[in-house]
Amino acid sequence: MNKPRHPLDRAVRISRSPVRSSTLGPGYSVANSNTRILGPHAPHALGPVQPPAASANLGLNSDRLRTQMVRRLREQGITDDRVLAAMQTVARHDFVDQGLASRAYEDAALPIGYGQTISQPWVVAYMLAVMSEGRTPQRVLEIGAGCGYQAAVMAQFIPEVYAVERIRGLYDQARLNLSRGRSRGRVRLSFGDGMQGLEHRAPFDGIVVAAAGVKIPEVLLHQLAIGARLIAPEGAAHQRLILFERTGTASWHRVELEDVRFVPLRPGTQP
């Protein structure tokens, strides 16, 4: 695999306005969440994110809270209108435990069971915006579907979304979540080893990996169409988002992006 000396000329025109690190549910920290990590000396230009007030019936004000979330994302540098509109459409509180619904629109990763988390909204928006920048992807693969939220967001502006989940309980949860509302029938969900991708559905116009491996599996790079992009966290103790663009049958451009902390990418399946 060829790794060029220079990063992508057009990689990531999203502004780098610092964002507060997210808070999490009980027993969770940035050490086990899908979230952005800021250095200890990074200025918090936007100030602390104020969580929305808890509501006895979140459904009554979820539209307003989503609008606030999308406004915050735009202030944080996300400018892709397709991504922002999709995140405005998908009800994030439908993808978390009812007990955490009042926190669904914070800029926070939240636990979804099985030691996994739903990604911080900024992380979801950023990864999708980078993958889609300057492109109109038609077929995209997600590795690590979790509760199905990110796949549901993609399905609002991408015609064919494929998602793989390796944990049976989460697969069942995602299948239920994706069977209702505006996501119904828009995502092709599979239970299996995401590290192997979906060779029989390749090539893809984009691949999003929602778990961090020490190295990004090369098999996934070969499932990209030429000109397509893969974005994934990479690393162990220190993780960064990595963007690959396939430039030929045996060539890829690589660029390192933000510091993050994701749950680990694991092989095989978990019953």
Residue with tokens 């015609």: 159
CB 269 within 8 A of CB 191: yes
d(C-alpha 164, C-alpha 182), whole Å:
20
**Is 102 tagged catalytic?**
no
Tokens of 127: 């990864």
- For residues 45-77, b (16+ Cβ closer than 10 Å) or e, as one string? eeeebeebeeeeebeeebeebbeebbebbeebb
Structural contact between residues 36 and 260, judged by C-beta atoms closer than 8 angstroms:
yes
C-alpha span between 238 and 130 (Å, rounded) = 21
Alpha-helical segments (H) within 37-186: 62-75, 81-89, 121-132, 149-154, 168-178
Q: Strand, helix or coil at 44?
A: coil
Q: How many helices (H) and strands (E) does the chain have?
A: 6, 10
Rounded CA separation 31/5 (Å):
31
> Of 21, 102, 119, 183, which one is the catalytic site residue?
119
Determine contact, residues 140/205, Cβ cutoff 8 Å.
Answer: yes
What distance in Å separates the CA atoms of residue 271 and residue 261, rounded to the nearest whole number? 25
Active site residues: 119
